[in-house]
Amino acid sequence: MSFRLRVVGLLVVVAVVAAALSTWMTWRQATSQVAEMATSDMAEVDRIADSLKQYAFSHGTWDGVGSRVLRLSEDTGQRIRLTVGEESVIADSDALTGRKPRDFSSRPVAIIDPVPQLVPYDSAMARRIERTAEHIATYRAHLLRVQCLTRKGRELLAMPNKYGMPVLRTTTYVADGCGTPRIPPASAADHKATAACAAAPRDKLNDCLQLAFRESVEKGSPQRAEIYLGVGNPPLPRLSVAPVAGLAASVAVVVALAAILLTRTVLRPVRTLTAATSSLGQGDLGRRVPVEGRDEIARLGRAFNRMAGSIQAGEERQRRLTGDVAHELRTPLANIRGYVEAFQDGYLEPTPELLASLHEEVMLQQRIVDDLQDLALAEAGALTYHFSAVDLGELLETCRVAHRARAEEAGVRLEVSVGARSVAVCADPYRLRQAVGNLVSNAVRATPPGGAVTLELAEDGERALVRVRDTGAGIPQEHLPHLFDRFWRGDASRGRRTGGSGLGLSIVRQIVRDHGGWVDVTSTVGAGTTFTVTLESL
């Protein structure tokens, strides 16, 4: 099983056990409290609060609210106490029924604010400010009328209009001395109260106008009230310390045991990895870690082993390269040194022929150094390329002209075979010509006098194929996998005789790879060899 799944599973078990124990203990301790608090059902609270708020909204005063409180108390079976502040009692159902007031709960269950909540309207700021001033005057006049009607014993019902302002639903009142409904103009004080909101940010305008409205009408409006339900303040059930402490201790023990198990499971392979990493850093490239299972720790161990193997292989390649370079340079440099010392001691005369031979040997070493530099840059991704559209037919013709003199000197025919249709690729013309030129140089060296080297251009779907075919002695099949290795030669003496560096094919492979292509080789002993470069055509 995955290490992650094991950890998650363990933590889930701990969480489930702890939650189950906590739930069980809490249920036992809180059962009685839940039963006592069931009478404060939220639906009843909302019903009582809505009814009392509607009364204050419609009547503009708390006067006469006792009948509404008494009716609600009878309907719900609750003792209802309505107060303004902590001491000023508006109505108490116990007092209204002639019952001796019982101890009441000190925790209000609802707060009633009967002042209308204005609904945002009009998009223009100036219009909204002006309309709020009008609402102040309208609401003040409404309060005077409904308070008068309430004192005369009228049962009123008001509903909010689209602006949130109360509007009486009853319209059949006769002349009763309370004035006639009308909309008075806003006073200068009303306009002044709302004008201050002109400086408020747009997103705070509604809050500012609501505050200005409240402060302007607060004096004549019914006050904010609090509702108390129930009797007394029954003490809340208290959890016993001993069971809770026992539960905490049990959870702590379970978590500690899980942590110990997890530590033993995880740290053992981690310690092994740490020791192996330390040994690897000290030069022990053959160090590996034992790996078992398929979890994340096992995958980490396999990744470490692959990394160590890669480092070891790279170190071995570096040593082989150093040895190959030293081997390639040691003998020719020793020869050059011998001739120079012979010149200095007077044993040999520096004839033009001898100096030309030494110059040729120096140029060979120079080519080796240049090829090593190109190969190092290419493998490091630092070789500079300038890509453009390249006509492969023209490139092969250019290579033929460049190597024609060397081919004629070796008695080898150098031919180009292209189709009627031009084929273009996106490439660096200099680097691609360098790669094809290396293949042509190798083919000319491998072909005996009277033979031929052919440069062919073909297409395979959306790919362009460049083939360099020779009629030389061919290469044994067991040597083909090593052709592109640095300094590898099937015949160790051939490079000395022909002047090859042993790096040309490695450079060809890297340049072709950098162009998004690949190079293949086929050969038949006694018949010749063909190198094929495959590139994406335009």
Q: Give per-residue pLDDT as tens, 47-98.
A: 888 898 999 888 889 888 888 988 988 888 888 888 887 668 888 888 888 8
d(CA 275, CA 258): 26
Residue 192 above 80 pLDDT? yes
Residue 384 above 90 pLDDT? no
* In the chain, % of residues over pLDDT 90: 16
- Do 515 and 535 meet the contact criterion of CB atoms below 8 Å apart? yes
Q: Which residue has the tokens 């019914």?
A: 222
Angle 148-151-155 (CA atoms, 0-180°, nearest 5)?
Answer: 95
| Mean pLDDT, rounded, for 411-419 | 91
The three-class DSSP label of residue 465 is: strand
Q: What DSSP character marks residue 537?
A: B
Buried b / exposed e over 217-243, threshold 16 CB at 10 Å, is beeebbbebbbbbbbeeeeeeeeeeee
Q: Residue 140: how many CB atoms within 10 A of its CB?
A: 19
DSSP line for 128-170: HHHHHHHHHHHHHHHHHHHHHHHHTT----EEE-TTS-EEES-
Residue 143 above 80 pLDDT? yes
* In the chain, % of residues over pLDDT 70: 78
> What are the distances in angstroms from CA 7 to CA 18, 156, 266, 399?
17, 68, 10, 66
Strand 463-470 to 518-524 pairing: unpaired
Can you list the alpha helix ranges (DSSP code H) found in 471-522? Answer: 494-498, 504-514
**Confidence band of 494 (pLDDT split at 50, 70, 90):** very low
Q: What is the pLDDT at residue 35?
A: 52
Q: What is the pLDDT at residue 140?
A: 87
Residue 15 above 70 pLDDT? no
Closest CA to 512 of 532, 485, 538, 490: 532
**Confidence band of 37 (pLDDT split at 50, 70, 90):** low
Q: Which domains does the chain have, with CATH numbers?
A: 115-221 (no CATH), 384-536 (3.30.565.10)
| Mean pLDDT, rounded, for 425-434 | 91
- Do 390 and 426 meet the contact criterion of CB atoms below 8 Å apart? yes
pLDDT in tens, 238-287: 555 566 566 666 776 777 677 677 766 767 777 888 888 888 888 788 88
Residue 411 above 70 pLDDT? yes
**Confidence band of 497 (pLDDT split at 50, 70, 90):** very low
Q: Residue 394: how many CB atoms within 10 A of its CB?
A: 13
- The backbone region for 526, taken as left when phi is positive above 0, alpha when psi lies in -120 to 50, beta otherwise, is left
| Mean pLDDT, rounded, for 166-190 | 73
**Confidence band of 496 (pLDDT split at 50, 70, 90):** very low
Which amino acid makes up residue 474?
Answer: G
Buried b / exposed e over 298-312, threshold 16 CB at 10 Å, is bebbeebbeebeeeb
| Mean pLDDT, rounded, for 496-525 | 81
Closest CA to 233 of 104, 101, 89: 104
| Mean pLDDT, rounded, for 15-43 | 63
Q: What is the pLDDT at residue 453?
A: 95
Longest CA span, the chain: 149
Residue 493 above 50 pLDDT? no
d(CA 93, CA 231): 12
- Higher-pLDDT residue of 387, 297: 387
Q: What is the pLDDT at residue 518?
A: 94
Residue 498 above 70 pLDDT? no
Which amino acid makes up residue 461?
Answer: G
- Do 121 and 132 meet the contact criterion of CB atoms below 8 Å apart? no
- Higher-pLDDT residue of 202, 379: 202
Angle 187-193-197 (CA atoms, 0-180°, nearest 5)?
Answer: 135
